[in-house]
Structure 1
Amino acid sequence: MRGILKQVWYAVRPLTAQQRFLWWCGTLMLASGAAHTVVAVVDWAPWWGAVSWRKPAVFGMSFGILSWSAVWIMRQLPVRRWGWLPAVLLGAGSVVEIIAVTMQRWRGEASHFNYGSSFDEAVWSTMGNVVLLVALALTVFLVWSLVRFEGSPAARIAVVVGLLAMEVSGYIGFGMADKGEKAVEATGQVPETVKFGAEGSAKLAHAVGMHGLQLLGLLAIGLAIGSVARRTQIKIMVLAAAGYAAVFGGVAATAYAGRAWTSPTAAMAALIAAGALAVMVAAAATVTRLSPARADVVK
């Protein structure tokens, strides 16, 4: 196991200044998320709601992992000076977003949809603008990966599908923002949660789209350090990507239909189950081929 973990580190460790910048941004946010998870346990306050420790904890973890994932992507792209543009937009933008979310929780105020004071409104506006910059960075990485990707074909599939899913997740996120702001206008209160229709879990659909890059990325790394022929790597990754897309599509369709994630239609339940099975088969095929003896391949 130690040998495999070492290989994973060799595959994702930052090598350039741009990558190190993203790595430290991610490390800072992950540390913040972990610290606020401890605070949440000690404080024993409600985990859900507009004002909760869940937000700095989950946002810190999510954005931190995203920055680390971007390091892995940049390792497989040609080194360019203008690479600082997406690196800074993603890394610094994410840090600003986490600072805003964390600050509001320590102030006892909602971070999202908060128009309670001019300061709260300015914070919410800043968060919205920063997310646009992060989305721009992800778009740059997507186009760059389509044009000049230097990693394996399996890794390219993982990156492109993962980033495309994040773009769709961003669209869902903007839909959530629109719903939340309309709820504030109608009630004068920050909503506890945002739903599509009666019971559609917009939050779950958004989360599933946000983290496909990490799922597929780990599989790509596993395939690269395992004893897997390139053609087999591609087949396994195509299976995993198709399965993930099916799960994401089923969850998103269920949310937009206004149905709870626990009660999808029969067709969507079948699609999600088939997709999850495909991902598990791909993961099993990857794990069984891991080879600790090949650490030199990814150094």
Structure 2
Amino acid sequence: MMLLLLARHVWAAVRPVTAQQRLLWWCGALLVASGTVHAVVAVVDGGPWLGAVTWRKPVVFGLSFGILLWSAGWVLRLLPERRWGWLPAGLLAGTSVVEVALITLQRWRGVPSHFNADTAFDAAVWSVMGMSIVLAVLAVLVLLIWVLVRAGGGAATRLAAAAGLVAVLASGAVGQRMAATGEAVYAATGAVPDGVVFGAAGSAKLAHAAGLHGLQVLGLLAVVLGTTRLRERQRLGLVAVAVAGYAAVFAALTVTAYAGRAWTAPTPAMAVLGVAGLAALLVVGAVTAWQVRRPARAPAEPARTEAGPVATGMMG
């Protein structure tokens, strides 16, 4: 019963209420459905999970981009409705669908989707994928600036949204380095690499994923905290600790990867930083879970104003 009530609270906070938000929501749902279907295909078809041509790519990219679009829809809930909001919403939704569609197409063709320039068509696909990511990053940057200038809701929610968007942009920087590394390997060997590694054993994918999903982790925390009876200052403190913890984990993973070391073999300094960040996140998670056990506030829709939604229990 408590989980059902919590789910109702979360849905009230993230439910799309404008056309721009619905665009992001339904495009996200399409991509999540695609990833789920291809997960079933992967199980039925069998074969390796890792490699340059596997079902992993349409599954992982479909789910990741789909959830990212849902998260972006939540961000728009914090912002005043403006016609030009179609620019970041449309760019992010359109480029995400194009990116996943091309990756999925290449897998069904049985050829690598990334770094592949074996034919003119493959080179064109890889080029369009690169341009799509650049435009997606631009859309996220616009959302970040908008959040910093005009976001409504409580301070905890605004901090979670801004920090999450910064994490997505940082993930994009890691992704750019991954693309350059993969292209260098292809140019040197003439073969598409099975995976991108920084240096000898740096886990580029892990660092990239950690940044990409920061918006979901911090956003969900802010939404759940909005269902508790904690005061705004207390919620802000918890989110601030979570942001610091997540930043520490991401920094430790990224620095370790760029140093060419496996994530399981960081330097002592990065190990301490990563463990401290993870501990902070676990403490915040435990406090939040404890607070959720207390009687929650009744679900409420955030009121919209010219400056965006006003602070409510739901919006943190």
**TM-score w.r.t. length of structure 1:** 0.98
Equivalent position amino acid for 2:209 in 1: A
Equivalent position amino acid for 2:73 in 1: V
- Give structure 1 stretches of 5+ with no counterpart: none
Superposed CA deviations along residues 182-231 of structure 1, whole A, max 9, x for unmatched, are: 10010000001111111001111000010011000111001111111001
Superposed CA deviations along residues 53-97 of structure 1, whole A, max 9, x for unmatched, are: 000000000000000001110000010000000000001110000
Partner in structure 1 of residue 287 of structure 2: 285
- The alpha-carbon deviation at position 45 of structure 1 amounts to 1.1
Partner in structure 2 of residue 13 of structure 1: 15
Superposed CA deviations along residues 110-140 of structure 1, whole A, max 9, x for unmatched, are: 0000001000000000000000110000000
* Secondary structure at the counterpart of residue 244 of structure 2: helix
**183, 186, 189: which one aligns with 1:184:** 186
Equivalent position amino acid for 1:276 in 2: L
Preserved contact between residue 228 and residue 296 of structure 2 (Cα < 8 Å) = no
Partner in structure 1 of residue 306 of structure 2: none
Partner in structure 1 of residue 299 of structure 2: 296
**83, 92, 95: which one aligns with 2:85:** 83
Between 1:29-38 and 1:157-166, the stretch displaced more is: 157-166
Equivalent position amino acid for 2:10 in 1: V
Equivalent position amino acid for 1:297 in 2: A
Q: Please give the alpha-carbon distance, in whole angstroms, between the structure 1 residues aligned to 2:136 and 2:227.
A: 31
Q: Please give the alpha-carbon distance, in whole angstroms, between the structure 2 residues aligned to 1:47 and 1:235.
A: 41
Q: Please give the alpha-carbon distance, in whole angstroms, between the structure 1 residues aligned to 2:11 and 2:209.
A: 25
Preserved contact between residue 7 and residue 292 of structure 1 (Cα < 8 Å) = no
Figure out how many residues of one structure are paired with residues of the other and give that number: 299
Q: Please give the alpha-carbon distance, in whole angstroms, between the structure 1 residues aligned to 2:23 and 2:295.
A: 29
Superposed CA deviations along residues 160-184 of structure 1, whole A, max 9, x for unmatched, are: 1111111111111011100100100
Aligned residues: percent identity?
Answer: 56
* Secondary structure at the counterpart of residue 144 of structure 1: helix
Question: 1:80-119 counterparts in 2 under 5 A?
Answer: 80-119=82-121
Preserved contact between residue 166 and residue 209 of structure 1 (Cα < 8 Å) = yes
Preserved contact between residue 12 and residue 299 of structure 2 (Cα < 8 Å) = no
Preserved contact between residue 160 and residue 218 of structure 2 (Cα < 8 Å) = yes
**173, 196, 199: which one aligns with 1:194:** 196
- Give structure 2 stretches of 5+ with no counterpart: 303-316
- The alpha-carbon deviation at position 295 of structure 1 amounts to 3.2
Preserved contact between residue 216 and residue 240 of structure 1 (Cα < 8 Å) = yes
Q: Does 1:263 align with 2:265?
A: yes
Between 1:284-293 and 1:226-235, the stretch displaced more is: 284-293
* Secondary structure at the counterpart of residue 300 of structure 2: helix
Q: Please give the alpha-carbon distance, in whole angstroms, between the structure 2 residues aligned to 1:106 and 1:265.
A: 41
Q: Please give the alpha-carbon distance, in whole angstroms, between the structure 2 residues aligned to 1:21 and 1:139.
A: 19
Preserved contact between residue 3 and residue 295 of structure 1 (Cα < 8 Å) = no
Preserved contact between residue 229 and residue 296 of structure 2 (Cα < 8 Å) = no
**Greater percentage in helix:** 1
Q: Please give the alpha-carbon distance, in whole angstroms, between the structure 1 residues aligned to 2:196 and 2:296.
A: 48
| Runs of 4+ displaced beyond 6 Å | none
Equivalent position amino acid for 1:23 in 2: W
* Secondary structure at the counterpart of residue 291 of structure 2: coil
Q: Please give the alpha-carbon distance, in whole angstroms, between the structure 1 residues aligned to 2:289 and 2:82.
A: 34
